[in-house]
């Protein structure tokens, strides 16, 4: 197996760092988010990272891992254990997602929701992923788009500005039925 080449990138969220691994992690450009209760059957990679003291959440992306830490722990305390955990997973040759992992069920969209989803997936999600985050459409009712922000975007001080000035503005520009966007 070739040596794992990875590097860390800061995100707008001071509690999150994006680790780019230079190899596929989650297939098909998808994302998967995990909290402290995940076991190795669901995600061997998330389980090993969440075992590191101070790590609270993990977002696995196409070729990156976003680590969100507790505010009580400094990044300098995680600078050794986090890369060591990623390397331990990489040499184990296990997949990032285990046999017990199941992707969320796809929901059939009406025409407006399909347009919203297309803009989120094709235009907005790639920018959010660059910052170590993920955006997922949770629903659309009475002109309100509900989205879930994960990874570095979850709890980020800039997320409200991104939500209103970026995402909401873009959706309203293209889809007259959209009145506002809210994070859930």
Other beta carbons within 10 angstroms of residue 39's beta carbon come to: 13
Cα(11)–Cα(151) distance, rounded to whole angstroms?
10
Residue 58, pLDDT score: 95
85 burial type by CB count under 10 A (0-12 exposed, 13-18 middle, 19+ buried): buried
Per residue of the chain (184 residues), give pLDDT as tens: 456 789 999 998 999 999 999 888 987 767 889 998 898 999 999 999 999 999 999 999 888 999 999 999 999 999 999 999 999 998 888 999 999 988 877 667 788 999 998 989 888 888 888 888 888 899 999 999 999 988 888 888 888 888 888 899 999 999 999 999 998 8
Cα(184)–Cα(150) distance, rounded to whole angstroms?
10
Residue 161: closest CA among 184, 183, 130 = 183
Cα(31)–Cα(150) distance, rounded to whole angstroms?
10
87 contacts: CB under 8 Å, gap ≥ 6: 4
Q: In what order do the strands lie in the sheet with 32-34?
A: 7-10, 16-20, 64-69, 55-60, 32-34
pTM of the model: 0.77
131 contacts: CB under 8 Å, gap ≥ 6: 11, 12, 13, 18, 152, 153
Please report the domains of the chain, with CATH numbers, ordered by start residue: 7-92 (3.30.1370.70), 111-183 (3.30.300.130)
């Amino acid at each position: 197996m070739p040596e794992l080449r990875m590097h860390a990138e800061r995100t707008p969220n001071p509690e999150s760092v994006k680790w780019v691994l230079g190899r596929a992690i989650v297939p098909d450009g998808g994302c998967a988010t995990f909290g402290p209760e995940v076991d190795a059957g669901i995600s061997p990679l998330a389980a090993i990272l969440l075992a590191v003291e101070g790590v609270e959440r993990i977002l696995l992306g196409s070729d990156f891992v976003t680590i969100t830490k507790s505010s009580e722990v400094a990044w300098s305390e995680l600078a050794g254990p986090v890369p060591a955990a990623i390397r331990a997973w990489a040499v184990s040759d296990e997949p990032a997602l285990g046999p017990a992992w199941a992707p969320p069920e796809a929901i059939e969209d009406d025409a407006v929701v399909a347009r919203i989803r297309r803009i989120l997936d094709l235009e907005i999600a790639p920018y959010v992923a660059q910052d170590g985050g993920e955006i997922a459409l949770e629903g659309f009712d009475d002109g309100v788009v509900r989205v879930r922000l994960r990874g570095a975007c979850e709890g980020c001080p800039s997320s409200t500005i991104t939500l209103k000035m970026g995402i909401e503005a873009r959706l309203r520009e293209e889809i007259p039925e959209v009145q506002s966007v809210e994070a859930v």
